[in-house]
Structure 1
Amino acid sequence: MQEAAHALVARHREITTPRTFRLLGMEWDLLPGVYAPHLSQSSALYAEWLPYPLYGSFCEVGSGTGYVSVLAALRGCASVTALDVSGAAAENTRLNAGRHGVASVVRVACGDMFDPLTCDDKFDVIYWNSNFVEGEPADALERAFFDPGYVTHAAFFRGAAAHLEAGGRLLLGFTDLGDERRVHALAAEHGWRAALLRAAKCAAGNGHIEYRLLEFTRAG
């Protein structure tokens, strides 16, 4: 698992100047040091699987280039909040919101997990395509892939309830390369119960990766 992640990180490090890429039939800006969605098959899958709440509110944790947040706005969300701990990713999200004419709908904030939010910020959907690989990140780019001790996942489950509307949906993008049993245990510690919403197996190297969209509801 770590070997595959490091290989993907190496491909990202080859991106040293701003460029554009195509995903879902659209053109997107990409800045160096930001996760490149077109390098992973999961990106298009999650973008198509997500339940964008029409006229509702949507929050993306770890927005990266912002393509999901932009799509949420284009597909009818009245308000979108994009969060990322990386300043480069926050800027990249702003670029793509401007490129696609939704800068007035997509609010971008830079900070760790839910730290930029106030107690008044609540959403119909919260989504995170998580850094599912167990390991120590060397820099901000690797933080998009590695979560030592799954501490970021714990923070996600610990903080999410305060920002969900009644009946809101908490969604996590994950793969069978990560430790899903541990994620379920962390979720349960913070009062969440996991269910598989969608899944697909895709060819990768000499094998397959299963991409999974998990939904969490309050336990009990």
Structure 2
Amino acid sequence: MTVKESPEAAAEVLQHALTGDDLPDSFHLLGREWALHRGVFPGTLTAATEVMASVLPYPQDGSFLEVGCGTGVISVTAALNGCKTVTALDINEKAVANTEANAERHGVGDRVRALHSDLYAALDPGERFDAIFWNVPWTYVEDGFPLSTDLHSAVFDPGYQGQARFIAGAQDHLTDGGRLLMGTADLGDRERLDGFAAEHGMRVELLRKVRRIEVVRVMEYHLLELHPA
């Protein structure tokens, strides 16, 4: 079942992340301190970052690609948890700088490469990864919804077209046997996502389901894996 979230309520959170003068320049998560740059979606506004960073099946001694890296918590955690190389992509240039700062802070700057990119655009055509992951913006809005700042793409994916492009382009960047992973929540439109996967000859499997008590409601976070149908 899809639980509806008000785009207006999500936009209020974004506006605070952009202009709130009470936000700190760092936050604590997963036993570590992380730099937070203004204009980057804070990794503690929901439990999504903590949940996904904790349950992802990182490819040991392999290559990991994260789309939408934000502050870099998941990409850095991947490097700290055995990935040989990590590539972090984000459409928000401030997020790229934030990820680089956190990779240096935690001693993995030599293994984490951060690139400004709309999905896979910044990658070389031949680049392949053992795992590709995106903690997707699950708030559904219709096509044409205005993304007035780069930060809006952290929460809104109009028509889920970004997720459709993520699925469509993944096979060009997966190794043989590579894993395509997505993080979402019960607020997401799973039926629509399943439809996009089917269009590209794939099926969606629920790998993990984690519930967290948050300020407004109990959130249920889902780690998904997409397989050839």
Normalising by structure 1, report the TM-score.
0.94
Residues 18 and 120 (structure 1), Cα distance of their counterparts in 2 relative to 1, 3 Å cut: farther
Instruction: Return the letter of the residue paired with 1:134.
Output: Y
Q: Which runs of 5+ in 2 are unaligned?
A: none
Q: Distance in 2 between matches of 1:84 and 1:42?
A: 17
Q: Pairwise mapping of residues 99-114 of structure 1 onto structure 2 (< 5 A)?
A: 99-114=105-120
Answer whether contact 1:202 1:209 (CA < 8 A) is retained.
Answer: yes
Per-residue CA deviation, residues 15-64 of structure 1 (Å, 9 max, x unaligned), is: 45770110001010111111111121121111110011110000000001
Question: 1:180 maps to what in 2?
Answer: 190
The counterpart of 2:127, out of the listed 121, 126, 132, is: 121
* Secondary structure of the structure 2 residue equivalent to 1:59: strand
Question: Displacement of 1:139 after TM fit?
Answer: 1.5
Match of 2:221 in 1: 211
Q: What is the TM-score when the length of structure 2 is the normalising length?
A: 0.91
1:148 alignment partner, one of 138, 149, 158 = 158
Question: SS at the partner of 2:44?
Answer: helix
Q: What displacement does 1:178 show? A: 1.2
Q: 1:7 Cα shift?
A: 4.1
The C-alpha deviation readout for 1:155-197, integer Å capped at 9, x for no partner, is 1011001101111111100011111110110111112110000
8 A contact 2:46–2:214 mirrored in 1: no
Greater relative contact order (CA < 8 Å, ≥ 6 in sequence):
2
- Cα distance between partner residues in 2 of 1:12 and 1:190: 36
Equivalent position amino acid for 1:117 in 2: L
CA apart distance, 1:140:
1.1
Number of positions where the alignment pairs a residue of Structure 1 with one of Structure 2: 219
In the alignment, structure 1 residue 5 sits paired with structure 2 residue 15:
no
Question: Hey, what's the Cα distance between the residues in 1 that align with 2:215 and 2:92?
Answer: 29
Aligned residues: CA RMSD: 1.5
Q: How does 1:51-66 map to 2 (within 5 A)?
A: 51-66=57-72
Q: 1:28 aligns with which of 30, 34, 46?
A: 34
- Structure 1: gaps of 5 or more residues: none
Q: Which amino acid aligns with 1:159?
A: G
1:95 to 90, 93, 101: 101
Tell which deviates more after alignment, 13-22 or 79-88.
Answer: 13-22
CA drift of 1:138 comes to: 2.5
- Check the 8 A contact 1:81/1:106 in 2, yes or no: yes
| Cα distance in 1 for residues equivalent to 2:216 and 2:150 | 29
Alignment-derived partner of residue 50 in structure 1: 56
Identity %: 44
Cα distance, 1:170–1:161 mapped onto 2, change above 3 Å = same
